Amino acid sequence: MAQLWQGRFSKAVDSRVNDFNSSIRFDSRMFRQDINGSMAHATMLGEQGIISPEDQEAILDGLQGILTDLQEGELSIDPEAEDIHTFIEQTLTARIGDAGKRLHTGRSRNDQVALDIRLTLRDESEKILGQILDLAQSLCRQAEANLESVMPGYTHLQRAQPVTFGHQLMAYVWMLLRDAGRIQDALKRMMAYCPLGSGALAGTTYPLDRQLTASLLGFGEPCPNSLDGVSDRDFCIELCAAFATCMMHLSRLSEEIILWCSWEFRFVELDDAFTTGSSIMPQKKNPDVTELIRGKTGRVYGDLTTLLTMMKGISLAYDKDMQEDKEAMWDAIDTLSLCLTTLTPLIDTMKALPQNMRAAAAGGFINATDCADYLTKKGMPFRDAYKLTGSLVAYCIDHHTTLEALPLETYRQHSPLFEEDVYQAIDLLNCCEGRTSYGGPSKAGVQGQLQKARQEIETIRNGLEGEADIPPQNETEEEDHP
C-alpha cells in the first residue's frame, strides 16, 4: 500500500524505515473510531458546502461499508499499510473513486490521530470501569459473608487490633471506587474538548464547523488552540496514572491474599481452579494469579513512565515520538483488564477460614487497647491505663498466657478497678462490636459501608448504561443529514 505523502519524493522510502515508521500493527485497534471520526468530518464538510452532497453521501456510505466489512471479516487490514488512517482512506478511494480523495480536506493525520485515540480510550475505559465495579461487587459479597469473622488487624504486619474480614475487604472496595472516580474524572476532562479541525497544527482556511464535529462525536466543544489540540496527550497520562493506581491497589490485595493463603496464616483457601501446582513438590498449591498481578503492576508503572518521558522534551506541536502513546496505553489497558477479570472470580471462589482468623486474633494481645479503654472507662486516665495494661501484657508473656485466660485475682493485683466484666470487655467479637465509631469494624458499621458502597457502584453503573443509550454517531448522522 502506497504512502499518502508521495508527491515530493524522488525515491521510495527504505524498507527498514517503512517498517520502523509504520504503526499499523497497533493502531488498527482504532479502526471503528477512525471511521466514526471520518464520518463526522465528512458530514460537517457536506453541511458546510466544502464537499458536494453527492460526495458526502458517497463517503458516508463507503465508510459504513468498510466498517461493516471489517467487523464481519469481509475486509482485512493490510499489514503493509503505514497506519490505519492510510488504510481506511485508500480503501475508501479504491471503492468510491474521487469522492474518497476529498475526505481529508481540512484535516491532517495529526488531528485525526489525536481524535482517534481519545475515542478509543473512552470506549475502552468504560469497559475497564465495568470490570472495576464487578470486582468491587465480588468483594462486597465476600465482606457480607464475613461480618463476624474476627481477625487481627495489622500495622507494621504486627497484630494490632481486632477487625473483621468483612471490614478488611471493604477497605479495598473504597480503593476501587476511588479508582473508578479517577477514571471518570479523566474521561470528563478528555471529552470536554475535541481536537478534530486543528489540522496539522495551525487550523485551516476551510470554513469548518468544529462545534458540529465536536458534538457529533460526543465532545463538549472544539479545543480552543489548534497547537494544543494536536499535541496534548495529558489524557493518556491521566488515564494511565489512574490505571497504575488501580494496579497498585490490586497488587496490595494480591499481596494480602498471598499471605493469607500461606500455611503461616491460613486465613483463606483459594479454589483449585485459581491456583497452580509445582512440577516437583507434590504438596504445593501456589497463588500464581495474585503473584502475577503483583508482578504486572510494574508493567503498568512502566507504561506511565513511558508516557511521561515521551512527552517531557518534545517541542510543539506534533512530533512522531507521540506515536508511542498507543502501545503504552494498550498495554496498560490490556494488563489491567486481564488482572481485573481474573481476580474477580478468584475472589468469588475464595473460601474464608474464620476459625483460623479467630485463632490468630486470640494471640498477639490485640485486645490490649480494649483492656486499657476498660480501665479508662472506670476512671483511670488513659495514659496510666495504657502503662498498666502494658505491664499486664508483659506479665502474660512471662507466664505464657493471654489476657483472656488471666484470673481476675491477677487482674486485681494490678488494679482494683478490674471486675468480672473485664472478660466481656476484652472478648474479641465484643471488641469489634464495641468499635461503633463511624467507619469501624462493628457489624452494623460494615453493613452501613456495604450499603453505601453498593449505592455508589449502582450510580456509576447506571451512568455507564446511560452512555450506551446514546445512539452510535453514524446513526445520528443519518437522522440529521439524510
DSSP of 87-149, one letter per residue?
A: HHHHHHHHHHTHHHHTTTTT--HHHHHHHHHHHHHHHHHHHHHHHHHHHHHHHHHHHHTTTT-
Q: How far is the CB of 29 from ligand ARG (least distance, A)?
A: 11
- DSSP H/E element including 104: none
Helix 288-312 and helix 325-349: axis angle, to 10°?
160
Asked whether position 322 contacts ligand ARG by CB under 6 A, the answer is yes
State which of residues 27, 124, 232, 433 lies at the interface with ligand ARG (CB under 6 A).
27
What is the rounded CA–CA span in Å between residue 163 and residue 367?
A: 11
Residues 229-248 that bind ligand ARG (CB under 6 A): none
C-alpha cell of residue 96: 468510491
Cite the beta strand spans of 90-179 per DSSP E.
150-155, 158-164
Q: How far is the CB of 47 from ligand ARG (least distance, A)?
A: 26
Any catalytic annotation for residue 278?
yes
Segment contacting ligand ARG (CB under 6 A): 296-304, 315-323, 393-401, 429-437? 315-323
Q: How far is the CB of 233 from ligand ARG (least distance, A)?
A: 10
State which of residues 235, 265, 274, 318 lies at the interface with ligand ARG (CB under 6 A).
318
- Catalytic one of 10, 156, 315, 400: 156
Asked whether position 290 contacts ligand ARG by CB under 6 A, the answer is no
Considering the complex, state which of residue 83 and residue 256 has its C-beta at the smaller distance from ligand ARG: 83
Asked whether position 38 contacts ligand ARG by CB under 6 A, the answer is no
State which of residues 23, 36, 91, 335 lies at the interface with ligand ARG (CB under 6 A).
23
Asked whether position 323 contacts ligand ARG by CB under 6 A, the answer is yes
Q: How far is the CB of 167 from ligand ARG (least distance, A)?
A: 47
Asked whether position 83 contacts ligand ARG by CB under 6 A, the answer is yes
What is the rounded CA–CA span in Å between residue 34 and residue 236?
A: 18
- Report angle CA 82, 88, 89 to the nearest 5 degrees: 90
Q: Do the beta carbons of residue 37 and residue 196 sit within 8 Å?
A: yes
Size of the site for ligand ARG (CB under 6 A): 10
Q: How far is the CB of 88 from ligand ARG (least distance, A)?
A: 12
Q: How far is CA 83 from CA 19, 194, 324, 465, in A?
A: 11, 21, 13, 32
Residues 107-166 that bind ligand ARG (CB under 6 A): 109-110, 113
- DSSP H/E element including 269: strand 268-269
Asked whether position 360 contacts ligand ARG by CB under 6 A, the answer is no
- Report angle CA 105, 109, 110 to the nearest 5 degrees: 115
Q: What is the DSSP letter of 472?
A: P
Bond from prior residue into 368 cis (ω within 30 degrees of 0): no
Residue 278, helix vs strand vs coil? coil
Asked whether position 330 contacts ligand ARG by CB under 6 A, the answer is no
Q: How far is the CB of 126 from ligand ARG (least distance, A)?
A: 22
- Catalytic one of 262, 278, 391, 399: 278
Q: How far is the CB of 208 from ligand ARG (least distance, A)?
A: 19
Considering the complex, state which of residue 87 and residue 260 has its C-beta at the smaller distance from ligand ARG: 87
What is the rounded CA–CA span in Å between residue 384 and residue 403?
A: 18
197 alpha carbon, distance to own chain's centre = 31
Any catalytic annotation for residue 85?
no
Considering the complex, state which of residue 322 and residue 426 has its C-beta at the smaller distance from ligand ARG: 322
What is the rounded CA–CA span in Å between residue 21 and residue 15?
A: 10
**Site of interaction with ligand ARG (CB under 6 A):** 23, 27, 83, 109-110, 113, 318, 320, 322-323
Catalytic residues: 156, 278
